[in-house]
Structure 1
Amino acid sequence: SVGSNAATHYANGVSGAMLSLSQINSAATISQSTISAYVLANPLSTSAPLQQINEQYWLETCTTFDFIEGWNNWRRSGYPALTPVVYPGNVTNGTIPRRLIYPATEISNNPAGYAAGVADLNGGDLLTSRVWWDK
């Protein structure tokens, strides 16, 4: 047992995330009454709990400037539903990147390992190629 139900843990997590913003800057402090009202108005849904949890996680990680973690969790969970942005010269043609490309030092210092790694990628060493767990 984890001591409570999912809805309570969700509410506590959302509250904690909102409270933690004051650690970044006191101007970002959210009052307890505002937090309580938000949590009460946005309880954990029984129809889409994973979506809600991952959207709140996205908000927390991106609000606290942990963009790589937010991106990694999006790749893992698929939440939130993101809209690709297409602009002239976009290197991925409007596809949200799925991975980082290998650095030039990997190519020059480990050519055999680089070649083996790229061979395992569907599409080659591109931002849009998916890693093994992101199929």
Structure 2
Amino acid sequence: MTVLNERQAVIVRRLLDGECLSVSRLAASFETSERTIRGDLTTVQDVLTRYGLGLSEAAGQGLGVVATAAQSKALLSSPEMNEMASGQRVPFLAARMLLLGTSTYDQLAELWIRRTPPEERSSVIPRATRLATSLTASASRTC
């Protein structure tokens, strides 16, 4: 399974919202190269294909996708759109903890596990559980 990075997920959401996107406009909006965007679009096309969708090119307008409400809902709630690559999970969890300030260590461990692709979960579950237990024990110690 391909987990989309944040830029690729934004591209998919914009396409499903009915936007026509050009490679040059995407590159400018993400402040990256057109080559990078073309690579992203290859990955996006692979994911779209799994949901019976595909990119289409409208002359002079850019790339688009035509999707039913059911197809859009299925893709937006898919693991490809909602799981994170390992390099994205730690910053996401740290930001959530800092911004919300209400997460318990157990909730963060559960979130870490949910955001991990299924094929990696068997190695993450014990680590997340140990980390939550350790942090909870450290936080409960008094000086």
Q: TM-score, normalised by structure 1?
A: 0.36
More strand by proportion, 1 or 2? 2
More helix by proportion, 1 or 2? 2
Q: TM-score, normalised by structure 2?
A: 0.35
